[in-house]
Structures are given as C-alpha cells and as structure tokens.
Amino acid sequence: MTSLPNSIRLAMAGAQPPADDQLWLEPLQGSEALNWVKQQNQRTLQQFAQGSAFPQLEKQVLDILNKETQIPWVTKFGDYYYNFWQDQKNPRGLLRRATLDEYRKPQPVWETVLDIDALGKAEGKEWVYHGSQSLEPEHRYCLINLSPDGGDAVEVREFDLHNKRFVEQGFRLPAAKSVVSWASADELFVATDFGSGSLTQSGYPRTVKRWRRGTPLDSAETLYQAQPEDMRAYAYHDDTPGFERDYIVRMIDFYRQETFLLHANGEQQRIEVPSDAEINSHRDWLLIKPRNDWQLEGRTYPAGALLAAKFDDYLAGRRKLEVLFTPSANQALSGYSTTRDHLIVGIMQDVANRLEVLTPQGDSWHSRPLGVPVELSTVAAGGIDNKTNDYFLTVSGFLQPTSLYLGSLDDEDEPELLKQAPQDFAADKYQVSQHFATSQDGTRVPYFQVARKGLRLDGDNPTLLYGYGGFDVSLLPSYLGARAPTWLERGGVYVIANIRGGGEYGPAWHRAALKQNRHRAYEDFAAVAQDLMDRKVTSSRKLAARGGSNGGLLVGNMLTHYPQLFGCIVCEVPLLDMRRYTKLSAGASWIAEYGDPDKAQEWEYIRTFSPYHNLKADVAYPPVLFLTATSDDRVNPAHARKMAARMQQMGYQQAYFYENTAGGHSAAADKQQSAFNAALVSEFLWHSLNGAG
C-alpha cells in the first residue's frame, strides 16, 4: 500500500470525512442554492468570458456546428429517411424527411415534419427533441419524445407522420423517465411513473403495463413489477417480419437482468441465461454475450464471446451454441448490428477496429470481412432496417472528417459514398499517434495523441488529457471538428487515454476497475499523464485533465489524489460526493459500478475515491472548473455545487463553477449552448496553463 498516493492511504487507514455542511446546495430549485449558482456563474463568466478571444472562439465553434454541409444523419421509417436538424435559424431543430433518391443529392430538398422551435413558441415551453419511434409496418404513426429542459424525463406524444400533426386523443404521457414501445397499432407497452410506489430507488419505472387506445392510463393492464431495489423494468416488441416477439426486461442493476418472452396467452417465460449476459434475437436465432466466463454442459464460454443458438430450441431446453466471436488478450467485440439476413460485427484490436459479416447457413455461420480497416480510425456499420440487407457504413478519425457510405450485403459491390462531412480545420498540420503507458501494476495502457507535426519534445506543450474509464465505454477515434479551434489550433496537444473501466479490451478491462478496484482506472490515467511528461511532450504545469460524468469522477480523483501532475482540471457533470451519490437523482442505478456506500464494508473503499471527502487543507490543488446543468436529472448538479463550495470554503479560490439551466446531462440544449461551453472551457484551460487569455 506504500505506493499509493498519501490521500488514498489515509482514507483506507480510517480517516473520517468532514461533516457535510453543504447539504443546502442539494435542492435543485432551492432559492438559496440558485442564488449561490447565480453568483458563481457571474464570477466564472467575469473571469473567463470577458476577454477578446471568447466571442471569436464561440463564433468559430458555432459556425462549425451550424455548417449546412454537416452530414444530416438519417433513420429510415418506411419509404422516407428522417433527419433531425439544428442550425442557427432552427436552434431547437426540425424533424424532416426525404426519399433516398433525394437524400443522395449534395443538397437535398427536405420536407419539414415538425418544427420544435415553433412548437415551443406555440406552447410556451422550450422543448428539446429526444427522438421518436414509428409504428410498423405502415410508419404512419410515431411516438415523439420531448424533454421540457433537456433532461432524461420526457413527454411522449403520438404523432401522425402523414398529416404532420399530433394525433387528437392519441397516446400521451406526461414528462417522466418512461420507456414506451408499440405493442400493436392500438396498444403500447408502458413503463412510467404511475404514482406512489411505481418507481425504483433509482427513480426509474418498476411497473410495466399494456395500455390500450381510448382507455385511461390508470386502467392499463399490469404485466410485471420489478423490486424497489432493482434498477428498472420495461417491455418492448420485436417487429421483425415472421419473427414478431414481445419481451419484458427486469434490470436488476446496471449489468444484470432477466428477460422474459411474453407469449400471446399471457405466459411469461424467462430466457435462461446468466443474469449478467446480454441477449438479443435475430430472426430464428438467440444471441448471447456473457460478461463473465460461462460454464455450460461441460464447456466454458469466455467473457466477451458472442454466441448463437436456435431460439425455439433454446427455449425448449436444448443448449447447442455456436461461437460467433472469441475474444483474446488484445481483441474484443465492440458491438454488432443486424440486417435481414446477416450480422455486422465490430472487432477491436488495441483500440483499432475492423468489421466482419456473419451469415447463418443452416445450423452454422459463415464469416467474411466488410470494408478495409483504416489505421487509427473508426470504421462502423449498422443495418438500416430488418427488411433488407442494406447498411450504412461510417469512417472517421481524429483528423479525418466522417464519411457516410450506403451498401448492400446482397452483392459484393463497394459501398456508395453518400455524404462527406466538411473539413473544419487544416488537418495536414497535425499527426495522430498511439502510445502505451505502464500503469502501477504493470498493465499496458493505450492512449492516442494528436499534435502538430514536428512537435518539439521540450516539456512545454499545453496538453489536454481526456478520459472516462467506466461502464464498459470505449473511447475510439472520432473527428475533432469543432474541438479543433478551441484547443489544437491554439497550439495544444490533445490526448485520449483508454484506461481500465472502459470496454477497449472487453469485459475483463471493464471489470478490472469495478468497485474496490476503482483505483486502477485512476492509476492508469496518472500513468498516461506521467508518460506524457517522461516523453517530454509536456510538464505538470502545462498538462490539463478533462472528463465528464463518470469521467468527472475520474478527474475529481486526479484533483484530490494526483494534484501534482496537473496544471488545471475541467470537471463536467460529475459524480463527486460518493457518500450520497445513491440518494441523488439516478445514482442508485450505478451501485453495480461503484458499490453501496450504505454498506460499511463497501464505504471503506468507496471513500477512497470520493473526491468530496478527500479534499484537504493546505494542498497545492490546481485550478479547477466545474460545469453542470440544473436540469441534469441523471447526475445531480449537487455534486459539482457542493465540491466547488467546499473548496472555496477551504480557501481554494481557484475553484470555478458554472451551471447551465437547460441541457440535461449534456449541459447544452442546443448548438449555441454547446459553443458557449466550448469557448468557456477553452478560455479556462488556456488562462490556467499559459497565464493569459
């Protein structure tokens, strides 16, 4: 234990956390709390948003985000391809559509289906569009999700895509963290807030009902009820032609679930797989991906494998499994998608990915490559619908604008280039490289570096190190675009660390930083920081750390345990108070990731990575900027509020805070707010690392 930072050793030795005197900041709309927020916002804006560079940066970012040549991403509903588009004239956006022939054109003529700005103006609400799902097979009706503030809670309304208006007396649910699915033309599966006792301790629905058109919601038929301590429950309908099925899902926690097949007679048959396995269906096949090694009938199927069994045979008790993918030490499954007759599988090797097409042939499967891997780039593909073998394929890299292709697995033709994102900065000035740091326990940790060509290795380059390290999330190369003017073009080096807790090397990489092993993610990030200094890319006074959500917890621990490594820190929509995180918003849903602080033996290790409790007086903490949103109903803004307030109370006036009102967990409801946040962060970083705006 002697090799751990002093702050961790003291916490593990039993040092008691200070009393929580910042509880008054927890009420989201509390008048005292909001007055404090207003004062903090003014202080931060006065410090970093008043310089001459700020409006220019904000405009540069906004101009990039609002380019008409950005790729209009589409989803196919019937004969139309639907796109949600935001620009300067339509900040909250337009839901619009075009035929494929029209979409192929360099400048398609779009038909507006729903104007979110106009809707908000007419109803006196600043709606944020959160997606829609259409009703098969006609695709005339859809369910549209509208958030009143950008948070996860949405109002659900039935919409007529033919007449382009909401359905009078149609299905409608008030704002809640609902999960809704079409069961038929006149029925919905609904999991929502039905009133007292209908939510889990995480604040998600635990009751699933079937709601028939024309009847009151409170008369809907109850199908299932999860336990209060479970994460959530929901139901959905698989509308694959010829293989229609209904499912009920009980999410026990973030990584364990039980899935039931709902038969026409009302019988609920559990699909018998390990509770930590992810399952899906593809026509007459059941797909299974175990998170841990699975012992079955004398054979071991490794964690992270992809398995297939004949659906009906498996439910009848026969356990013949086909192995579609087997992981290795440096190779993992990044995901898969289905078309009518095939699977498209993404495979990562040292965070570089490639694609394969898997096709069932009788009782076995055939594999062939799809596309050509591009070095230090991300290649991804997904089926367009379940009625064809058409697919979209994208290629993107840090310096490579995204390309969108359309292909068909029915032929061997090369996919057709449909759209090319614009070049937002002079990429030829920069180069991308991949490096490996050695963590404290000897583990090799990969990271990407984007820097100017001919970078001088003199330890004096402003460097921004970004990470996440949790929830099995992988950080893959993606085009920097609007991020370039705020950092690269100001002379900075950009680095992404692929630390443990993520999914870059499969379930074992994620599992290595769970709960009592959380410190491994932080050791990895610190190792990357040290490697950057050892390679003379930068020095501690020129190195910044940035992360959001779970990544906010990551950089919060950099602040409290490794302050000597960083010149400043940007901590966005973070978890920081790990003693009370399960009491705040959706926090209880993450116990499987972090542990339960209400259990004494688990609090013993959780407190070692609770930044709020590891703050100490007379420590040379670097400047830190906390960013959050009042409307974030996933990670409560109280985490950032309390951390900033406690630091200032302890005399650390270099702790800055900014809270947007809207935007939810993204802290931005539109592109204007995104551009503002980007400029604010850039100015903070540049001022902190260079001493000037």
- Catalogue the active-site residues: 549, 665
Rounded-to-integer distance, Cα 522 and Cα 516, Å: 12
Q: Are strands 568-572 and 543-548 parallel, antiparallel or unpaired?
A: parallel
Tally: H helices and E strands in the chain: 14, 39
Rounded-to-integer distance, Cα 340 and Cα 386, Å: 5
618 burial (CB, 10 Å; 0-12 / 13-18 / 19+) is: exposed
Task: Provide the phi-psi class of 459: left if phi over 0, else alpha when psi is between -120 and 50, else beta.
Answer: left
Q: Report angle CA 399, 548, 609 to the nearest 5 degrees.
A: 130
Rounded-to-integer distance, Cα 245 and Cα 92, Å: 36
Q: 3-state SS string over 514-544?
A: CHHHCHHHHHHHHHHHHHHHHCCCCCHHHEE
Task: Provide the phi-psi class of 447: left if phi over 0, else alpha when psi is between -120 and 50, else beta.
Answer: beta
Rounded-to-integer distance, Cα 233 and Cα 226, Å: 6
The strand pairing partners of 628, in sequence order, are: 659
Helix (H, G, I), strand (E, B) or coil at 131: strand
Tell me how far CA of residue 112 lies from CA of 97, 109, 139, in angstroms: 7, 10, 16
Q: Are strands 172-176 and 165-166 parallel, antiparallel or unpaired?
A: unpaired
Tell me how far CA of residue 252 lies from CA of 228, 231, 247, 256, in angstroms: 10, 5, 16, 5
Rounded-to-integer distance, Cα 281 and Cα 240, Å: 10
For residues 232 and 200, the answer to whether their CB atoms sit within 8 Å is yes
Q: Provide the 8-state DSSP code for 414.
A: P
Crossing angle between the packed helical segments 638-649 and 550-561, to the nearest 10 degrees:
20
The CA R_g of the chain, rounded to the nearest whole Å, is 25
- DSSP assignment of 239-277: --TT--EEEEEEE-SSS-EEEEEE-TTS-EEE--S-TT-
- 371-387 per-residue burial string, b: 16 or more CB within 10 A, e: under 16: beebebbbbbbebbbbe
Crossing angle between the packed helical segments 671-690 and 31-48, to the nearest 10 degrees:
60
179 contact partners, CB below 8 Å, separation of at least 6 = 190, 191, 192, 205, 232, 234, 235, 236
Rounded-to-integer distance, Cα 414 and Cα 602, Å: 54
Rounded-to-integer distance, Cα 252 and Cα 342, Å: 31
**What is the residue type of 43?**
R
504 burial (CB, 10 Å; 0-12 / 13-18 / 19+) is: buried
Of 260, 246, 146, 270, give the one whose Cα is nearest residue 187: 246
For residues 171 and 183, the answer to whether their CB atoms sit within 8 Å is no
Of 597, 595, 575, give the one whose Cα is nearest residue 586: 575
42 contact partners, CB below 8 Å, separation of at least 6 = none
Chain-centre distance for alpha carbon 309: 30
**Which H or E element spans position 377?**
strand 377-383
